[in-house]
Amino acid sequence: MPNSAPEFPLGVSPAPVVAAAPEPADRATAEQEWTALAPLLAGQPRMRLSRDGGRNYFTSNERPLTRALPSVPAAVRICGTDGMIGTICLDLDTSRGTGDVGRDHATVTAWFTRHGARWIEDRSPNGGRHLYLPLARRVGFTEARHFVEALARRLPTLDPAPHQNAEAGCIRTPGSVHKRGGYQQLTMPLAAAYDIAQRRNPAPIWERLTRDLAADIAAVSQRAGAQLRLIDENSEFLPLSGGPRNLPLDKERIARSGAYNPARYGSPSEARQAVLASAAAAGWQLTDVARLMKQNTWAGMVTFYARYSPTHRGTALRRDWTNAVRYVQDMRRKNTPTAEAKNTDRKSYTSPTNTQGGTPTPSPGSGLSEHQFLRSWRNVLSHYEATLTGSRSGLLARLVLRALGEAAIKRGDRFIEFGARSLAIGAGSHPTSVARQLRQLAALPHALIRLAQEAHGTRADLYELIIPVDYQHIADTRTWPKGRLHALRPVFRELGPTAAFVYEAIEMNDGDLTSAEVARASVLSPSSVNTALETLAAWNMISRSNGRWTVVAATSLRQLAERFGVMETIGHQLARYRRERQAWRQWLETRESAKVHLLSPSDSYPFWLYEGPPDDDTTMVHFIQQSA
């Protein structure tokens, strides 16, 4: 790395110096800065305390993030539990190389200014600088890491270490105690910093910054790719005659989220080894695993290896992969017909042990923790729906999220592999509208879902329910709602989604609500609520007494749906989807047997290829019959 900072193609003068806010004269001022900014800049509500005066921040000293300023140096975690980054943290360190912090600071702030970016800045008592770039749309750990490493090629004093480890990466935020005494001091008014943390930089600004760094990011990525190829060199794998297959959902969940059942796996090492063994048995190669980790798709596996330094991480992964391949080979040898006749305790490397009694160990997706997560996610959904009001698309977005939540709760798993057609039945909409809504919902800031795996063959898109960090306090503090979560029950295909939300608001609150209270509970406008109340009352679904609305329990929603002909309509819809699914499978078989590749738009293929494969609607039919 050169001793002088390479020039940015700025063409402008350095950013004007912002008038510094009064330096913290006492702990009270530092506490204000910490309380206001630490929760907004942290990737997750966790912090690490330094018990040795600021030299080390060990995992054993990690605590929940508190609004009260710790009395020792404290650094917040940068990476979220889902492997995503919400704030880019730049540490200009006076002890790094022979560069000049002031020069690098002027260069990067001028660069930010040219692209319209807004940043928060503080100063250390020793002259170092921290710059925080809050992002409205969170980015993957690997994308953020490559960005900071590319920027470090141009700024000699920039230390990329905080972004090089998803598990250990942390940084002291404004107000934190410094190891040399004093505090991290804002160089701008606290009100301005708070505004930037709340109104974050939109996606176009991030795209402009990364586009300007494209050459350096490509160099960093190429170096990482070379390390990936080195990891896979001469690695063993166990090919299957039919080609690689998908991993079981429980292993996929562990790899993506890092969450595992401690009753089944005693440590993170055992959990990650189970994922690798499952991948080896599924016919994968080590390069498949390493690529998913590099792309941050398997964020959970990234955190499992965060305890290793970047230079030793590849060696550890390769060692674990070799052990996984050996383990699967041994289990397959034991499960030959001769061995199985002698020992029937285990059928395969993934099956539970046969015993004479007792209860089998539950899968990671079926335990109490998963149930608690889904109920907490429902809490967040109730709050989140208030942000989706004011348009017809907002009603559909609410119904799509509810269809996903209903499916997840009844399956007991936050991962849902229902295609757009099944969800369209639950949401009472067209599959193309549902598919579009799914993509838009997953791309929103603070999204409640994320696309965990693209559709492939007969497998639909795999979506995961998530609780954004900003909504975690709602999940933790609010009581779980009563009753069941519904998407669009059949009768409301005829009466409309507004009537569905109004009816549910009265039903969930045990009735006895005024019209104004119904509007607040359903998060709808008073005029649309009044119209829906009149419609529901006309069909004797609700009644009014002394100005308060209650549900008429004697009125059957299913009978009304049959009267409106809705059940017949759903039956025709299911039959059509069944035919489309059969045609899709036949087309897949023909394409596979003939080894046909779609090379041009003139090729013949099903129109729903753009939307994703048709899915098995048997489970959703059962849901609809239950909901009716």
Q: Which residue has the higher pLDDT, 108 or 255?
A: 108
The mean per-residue pLDDT over the stretch 65-89 comes to: 89
**Is the Cβ–Cβ distance between 185 and 24 less than 8 Å?**
yes
The mean per-residue pLDDT over the stretch 168-195 comes to: 90
Residue type, 267: S
Tell me how far CA of residue 607 lies from CA of 26, 313, 613, in angstroms: 67, 44, 10
Q: Which residue has the higher pLDDT, 102 or 344?
A: 102
Positive or negative, the CA dihedral 436, 439, 443, 449 is positive
Query: Within 13 Å of residue 398, how many CA atoms lie on the same side as its CB?
Result: 24
Structure tokens at 491: 């009768």
Q: Which residue matches tokens 């170092």?
A: 128
The mean per-residue pLDDT over the stretch 228-248 comes to: 66
Q: Which residue has the higher pLDDT, 604 or 44?
A: 44
Q: Which residue matches tokens 């508190």?
A: 66
Structure tokens at 277: 């063994």
Structure tokens at 566: 């809705």
By percentage, how much of the chain surpasses pLDDT 70?
78
How many whole angstroms separate alpha carbon 488 and alpha carbon 396? 10
Helices (H), 539-617: 557-564, 566-594
Residue whose C-alpha is closest to residue 542's, from 510, 519, 569: 510
CA dihedral 551, 553, 555, 561 (to 10 degrees): 80
Where is average pLDDT lowest: 203-212, 470-479, 547-556? Answer: 470-479
How many whole angstroms separate alpha carbon 588 and alpha carbon 580? 12
By percentage, how much of the chain surpasses pLDDT 90?
21
The pLDDT assigned to 601 comes to 34
The pLDDT assigned to 570 comes to 81
Tell me how far CA of residue 12 lies from CA of 101, 150, 205, 212, 318, in angstroms: 20, 21, 18, 15, 48
Helix or strand (DSSP H, E) at 91? strand 84-92
Query: In this model, does residue 102 exceed pLDDT 70?
Result: yes
Query: In this model, does residue 134 exceed pLDDT 90?
Result: yes
How many degrees, rounded to 5, is the angle at CA 45 between CA 42 and CA 50?
A: 80
Residue 456: left if φ>0, alpha if ψ -120 to 50, beta else—which one?
beta
The pLDDT assigned to 15 comes to 42
Structure tokens at 123: 């100063």
How many whole angstroms separate alpha carbon 415 and alpha carbon 439? 16
Q: Residue 75 phi/psi, 5° resolution?
A: -125, 140
Query: In this model, does residue 186 exceed pLDDT 50?
Result: yes
Query: In this model, does residue 55 exceed pLDDT 90?
Result: no
pLDDT confidence tier of residue 606, bands split at 50, 70 and 90: very low
How many whole angstroms separate alpha carbon 145 and alpha carbon 164? 6
Residue whose C-alpha is closest to residue 84's, from 461, 451, 454: 451
Domains and CATH numbers, the chain: 27-219 (3.90.920), 234-342 (no CATH)
Q: Give pTM, 2 decimals.
A: 0.44
How many whole angstroms separate alpha carbon 341 and alpha carbon 339? 5
The mean per-residue pLDDT over the stretch 213-240 comes to: 68
Hey, which of 88-102, 343-357, 575-589 has the most confident mean pLDDT? Answer: 88-102
pLDDT digits (tens, 9 = 90+) for 485-530: 888 888 898 898 899 999 988 888 766 788 898 888 888 888 989 9
How many whole angstroms separate alpha carbon 73 and alpha carbon 78? 16
The pLDDT assigned to 106 comes to 92
The pLDDT assigned to 412 comes to 79
Residue type, 86: G
The mean per-residue pLDDT over the stretch 376-405 comes to: 83
Residue whose C-alpha is closest to residue 129's, from 87, 200, 178: 178
Query: In this model, does residue 5 exceed pLDDT 70?
Result: no
